[in-house]
Amino acid sequence: MKKETTLNAGLMLLLLAIPVAAWFMDEPFLVTLTTRAVVFAIAGVGLNFALGFGGLVSFGHAVFFGLGGYAMGILAHHAQTYTPLMEWPFVIDGSNSMLVIWPVAIVISALAALAIGALSLRTTGVYFIMITLAFGQMFFYFMISWSAYGGEDGLSIYVRNGFPGLNTMDPFQFFVICYVLLALVLFAVHRAAHSSFGLMLRAARQNEDRVQAVGQIPYRLYLIAFMVSGAITGLAGALFADLNRFVSPTMLSWHTSGEIMIFVILGGVGRVFGPVAGAALFILLEHSLGGLSEYWHVYLGAILLGVVLFARGGLFGLLAGLEVAHD
């Protein structure tokens, strides 16, 4: 088996094994920790679709993470206070069912990505990075001033959202939900990467002239990729808010955007499973270094710097070597 495939499988097995072991050892904290890694992984897989495959350096992806979180927060808030979201022109009630919340989070994030992408993709290079950052800030400040939903203090959700037939308050069952979603997302992204769209998108990243010379339009490819990317990150946001039963504007901050980028780069940009490794590594560092010092971000910064300067391909680059062309 190719090195990369072995690594992928190993990673997924590890992420499953730890909570199972923790469940037997009755250490729910470890289960929650792994869930956190899984949710971050989904966010990273989302960003990687635009960044790794499309070459779009979006420094505002926290927007989608936060929008997904607030979609969940707002719906659940109205559900728990028994007030409707809207009464005119028609009644919209809140909800705390995951099966309602996830599609809402996905659709809202995709629409936001459409709007932001349509405007931002008219620029290139540094301007693109800046305009995505600026849009991120726009939404960030907007949420801070939206006092109806907690503003700067955020919104607490008392009960975890419901999934038919499961007790979602149980850490292990919630973990399984997130893990299955990660697996589904990875499967979809893997197929997309090897599809017609994927071939053309990844070509555009390498050489836009080439794509135009074969009769295709890079802007359209990028826009679709951006929407898919936003939707996936939005789903992660909804799960994250659910995990913590709390959503706040911090989810939209540019620091969060930077962190999502860290997941991607630590694992290896452009590798389908890269963000999974990156998120897992990040959680490991957060847990181990964070235990050592309150100022562990200094070490994180040093490690990130080291990776960027000396180990550009991330974990996958180190362990699986140069990316072999698929198929």
Partner 1 sequence: MIDPILDVRGLTKSFGGLVASKNISLDLRPGEIHALIGPNGAGKSTLIKQIAGGLRPDEGSVFFDGQDVSPLSTASRARLGMGRTFQISSVAMEYTVLQNTVLGALGHRGNTFRFFNRVMKDTELLATAENALEQVGLQEFRTFRTSDLSHGQRRQLEVAVALTLEPKAFLMDEPMAGLGAEGSHRLIGFLDALRQKAPILLIEHDMDAVFTLADRISVLVYGEIIASGSVDEIRANPDVRSAYLGEESVE
Partner 2 sequence: MSWVLLIEQTLNGLQFGVMLFLMAAGLTLIFGVMGLINLVHGSLYMIGAFAAAVVAAASGSFLLALAASLAAAAVAGILVEVTVIRKLYDRDHLDQVLATFALILIFSEGTRWVFGSFPLFLDPPDYLSGTVFLPFGIEYSRYRLSLIVIGLAVAAGLFWMIAKTRIGIRIRAGENDREMIGALGVDITLLYTLVFALGAALAGFAGALIGAIQSVQVGMGEPVLILAFVVVVIGGIGSIKGALIGAILVGLTDTLGSFLLPKLFSLILAPSAATSVGSSLASMSIYVLMAGVLLVRPKGLFGGA
Q: How far is the CB of 266 from partner 2 (least distance, A)?
A: 10
Residue 191 in contact with partner 1, rule: CB under 8 A: yes
Residue 223 in contact with partner 1, rule: CB under 8 A: no
Give the span between the Cα atoms of 208 and 200, in whole angstroms: 10
Taking contact as CB under 8 A, which single stretch among the options 26-34, 37-45, 201-209, 304-312 is the one that binds partner 1?
Answer: 201-209
Of 166, 217, 284, 318, the one binding partner 1 by CB under 8 A? 217
Cα separations in angstroms, 313 against 74, 172, 265: 39, 33, 7
Residue 124 in contact with partner 1, rule: CB under 8 A: no
Residue 122 in contact with partner 1, rule: CB under 8 A: no
Q: How far is the CB of 54 from partner 1 (least distance, A)?
A: 13
Q: What are the tokens at 139?
A: 């939404």
β-partners of residue 163 are 166
Give the span between the Cα atoms of 38 and 185, in whole angstroms: 11
CB 41 within 8 A of CB 275: yes
Q: How far is the CB of 279 from partner 2 (least distance, A)?
A: 16
Q: What are the tokens at 77?
A: 């808030």
β-partners of residue 288 are none
Residue 61 neighbours by CB under 8 Å, 6+ apart:
43, 46, 47, 50, 132, 136, 229, 230, 233, 257, 260, 261
Q: Are strands 155-156 and 246-247 parallel, antiparallel or unpaired?
A: antiparallel
Of 81, 145, 147, 196, the one binding partner 1 by CB under 8 A? 196
| Number of shown-chain residues binding partner 2 (CB under 8 A) | 41
| Number of shown-chain residues binding partner 1 (CB under 8 A) | 28
Question: Interface with partner 2 by CB under 8 A: which residues?
Answer: 51, 57, 59, 119, 122-123, 125-127, 129-131, 133-135, 137-138, 141-142, 144-147, 254, 258, 261-262, 265, 269, 295-298, 300-302, 304-305, 308-309, 312
Question: Interface with partner 1 by CB under 8 A: which residues?
Answer: 191-192, 194-200, 202-203, 206-207, 209-217, 221, 224, 323, 325-327
